[in-house]
Amino acid sequence: MQSIIKEYNNIDSWRTAMFLYQSAVKEVQTKLEILNDEFQYVHKYNPIEHIKSRVKTAESIAKKLKRHGKEVTIENMVRYVKDIAGVRLICSYTTDIYRLAEMIGNQGDLKVLSVKDYIKNPKPSGYKSYHMLVSVPIYLSDSVVDTKVEIQIRTIAMDFWASLEHKMHYKFEGQAPEYISDELRKCAEIVATLDERMLSLNEAILAFQTEEPEEASNEILLEDNPLIHLR
């Protein structure tokens, strides 16, 4: 990305930078879809419920830089705004989150730059999610540009909660009434309990499915046994 900063000094530089981020999102999303398909093929199970992706607008990037007291330049955009390109993975269970994080970390052409585990260490607001900042090479006609993408991994319940928190943050510009913030924190505790119980329930169902074929085969043997019909 530094080569892009030096090479372009006009309005097209913003477009070039945004093109790189858009390409990076496509690259990462394709990799994740392939991983999900492979997991389905091998394990007959999809860890990813769905994938969301986005690239921040130039207006949103400028606002974030100004909010942090930075001049609006491409160099500052690349250096200080880590979540311009974002991909979000929504899973059913918390175990899927760490499984996916490990799979992403094993990708040879993705470099993990940083990890923030807000599941083990939630934010004061109650926010939970697993964040990975990765760098992906974008192959252009005459160069290769490493471009940053933030990957967020969370459960369906966490995503529902985070969507409401996001709405609240922008509605009140970070100054929400205390009673609303308190209620949202309580909801975060409910979400955590729900995730734990849903995971336990899923594990119980899987354990039952593992035992079921043996029980079914015993029933077949009993039905096929001619001695039973002689009684």
**Which residue do the tokens 């999610």 mark?**
129
Pick the catalytic residue from 33, 71, 75, 150.
Answer: 150
Give the residue from 166, 132, 145, 134 showing the smallest Cα distance to 74: 145
The identity of residue 162, as a single letter, is A
Which of helix, strand or coil describes residue 201?
helix
Query: Is 173 a known active-site residue?
Result: no
Pair of tokens at residue 166 = 């996001």
Asked whether 111 and 104 are in contact (CB, 8 A), the reply is: no
Burial 101-114 (b: 16+ CB within 10 A, else e): bebbeebeebeeee
Pairing mode, if any, of strands 130-139 and 144-155?
antiparallel
Known catalytic residues? 150
